[in-house]
Amino acid sequence: MKKIEAFIRHESFDAIRDRLATMGLPSMSVSEVKGSGRQQGYTESYRGAKTTIFLRPKLKLEMAVDDGDVDRAVDAILELAHTGEPGDGKIFIFTIDDAIRVRTGERGEVVLAPHEGAHT
Ligand SMILES: Nc1ncnc2c1ncn2[C@@H]1O[C@H](COP(=O)(O)OP(=O)(O)OP(=O)(O)O)[C@@H](O)[C@H]1O
Ligand SMILES: [Mg+2]
């Protein structure tokens, strides 16, 4: 199992969520974050005062997936998050040691599979 952690633009999220769901990968967590990549802060004037902005809003998309789903999930995110402009984001991939479904106590990859009665 791997965890995909993708920092993406807000504008790209709906298309990414729809595509992943269509691919059978609807399980995810999303948070609003502020971050910076390699660029230094940029300076803009606000009411006559120059302010340097270091952090920009991004979405953090987190997904635990089977090893066999990593490449196609990442390909979908890459295709739909890419504009070619700075700030398109980054994707990090981690190895997951274990996963546990709290309701049943099941462990491992079975926790990621579709199951009867899934509605949320
Ligand atoms: N090394 C990192 N560690 C943690 N979060 C990061 C890292 N790099 C980027 N991020 C997150 O990803 C967001 C987008 O990064 P960004 O796309 O600007 O990366 P970049 O390296 O500057 O590439 P680009 O030149 O395309 O802008 C950041 O705002 C931050 O939330
Ligand atoms: Mg950047």
Compute mean pLDDT per 10 residues along the chain, 120 residues long, and list them.
98 98 97 90 81 90 98 98 95 98 96 77
- Cβ of 39 below 6 Å from ligand 1: yes
Whether residue 120 lies inside any domain: the answer is no
Instruction: Read off the pTM.
Output: 0.91
The pairing of beta strand 56-65 with beta strand 49-53: unpaired
Here the CATH number for the domain that contains residue 71 is 3.30.70.120
Query: Quick count: other Cβ atoms within 10 Å of Cβ 29?
Result: 10
The tokens describing 96, both together, are 């997951």
Whether residue 119 lies inside any domain: the answer is no
- Cβ of 35 below 6 Å from ligand 1: yes
CA of 56 to the centre of ligand 2 (A): 10
Give yes or no for a contact between 43 and 50, defined as CB atoms under 8 angstroms apart. yes
Whether residue 27 lies inside any domain: the answer is yes
State how many domains the chain has.
1
Instruction: Write out the residue range of the structural domain in which residue 103 sits.
Output: 2-112
- Cβ of 86 below 6 Å from ligand 1: yes
CA of 86 to the centre of ligand 1 (A): 9
